Amino acid sequence: MTEFLQQVINSLSLGSIYALIALGYTMVYGIIKLINFAHGEVYMVGAYVGYASMSFLKLGFFESLILAMIVCTVLGVVIERVAYRPLRNSTRIAALITAIGVSLLLQYTMMFFVGPDPRAYPPMPSFMNGSIDVGGVIIKNQQILIIGVSVFLMIVLQFIVKKTKMGKAMRAVSQDPDAARLMGISVDRTISFTFAIGSALAGAAGVLVGVYYNSIKPLMGIAVGLKAFIAAVFGGIGIIPGALIGGYVIGGSETLVSSLGYSMFKDGVVFAILILILIVKPAGLLGKNRKEKV
């Protein structure tokens, strides 16, 4: 039982990070039906901004987290404005290829400046290095911090989407952009705001991963980005609660496989989950199948 609870804590830590990234995928898809494959690289940039702010600017964890979210917010808005907005009325395949191109551009631009080698995050403050023992279950302070920060950001996101004017605009644009425009909603500004929020969450996830694994590299966004995308598909892409559920399911699956001694197969299990969900319920756990007129 103790071992099971220990793995639950580990699953919550990892799942929280996947959920933060998956939210960016699902919000962008929900509003413009685009799979933003560059989202994983925004998360990577967030990790490096956190590293630079801690190493060179000597900022603390929370200041670095906020700075990474701000930088990634600006980056997400610039990507949307420069790369995606001109293709708004193009085919989906054109936008998808552009997303892959932006992803590669960010990867190799970062590699040009920082090199391909992994870097270790600077030592964390003393309050993040301890742990508590609850009936034999060891909970690290870092895990508490990761889960706490992630849950706080998810609550803020829910508040924005459900209670604010911009959140109502986001929901309206996701339902019917043309009707929303006729009602006086600025569709372009709403889409930019969606990219901004999703990118800010990805930036936060990047810093949390750097703290958790103590290692970052320019290509770190590929695998994690794909897994977060799978989490979004699992829950029903375009559905915010689905992304949260998917993130925790994927994180839990990875942790379970690793705890059984098959860590080499954890990536394979995640992609097997994707294949299974596409066969059994293509719209995802919370999605509804819709018939398309031909």
Q: Over the stretch 182-194, which tens digit does the pLDDT of each residue have?
A: 988 999 999 999 9
52 vs 141, higher pLDDT: 52
Q: CA neighbours within 13 Å on the CB side: how many for 210?
A: 33
Q: Over the stretch 206-258, which tens digit does the pLDDT of each residue have?
A: 999 998 888 899 999 888 888 888 988 888 877 888 888 998 999 889 888 88
Q: Is the pLDDT of residue 292 over 80?
A: no
What pLDDT score does 130 carry? 80
101: left (phi over 0), alpha (psi -120 to 50) or beta: alpha
What pLDDT score does 285 carry? 83
Please report, for residues 6, 32, 113, 151, 190, the alpha-carbon distance to residue 43 in angstroms, rounded to integers and kept in the order given.
27, 20, 17, 18, 21
Helix residue spans in 164-265 (DSSP H): 165-175, 177-182, 187-213, 220-235, 240-259
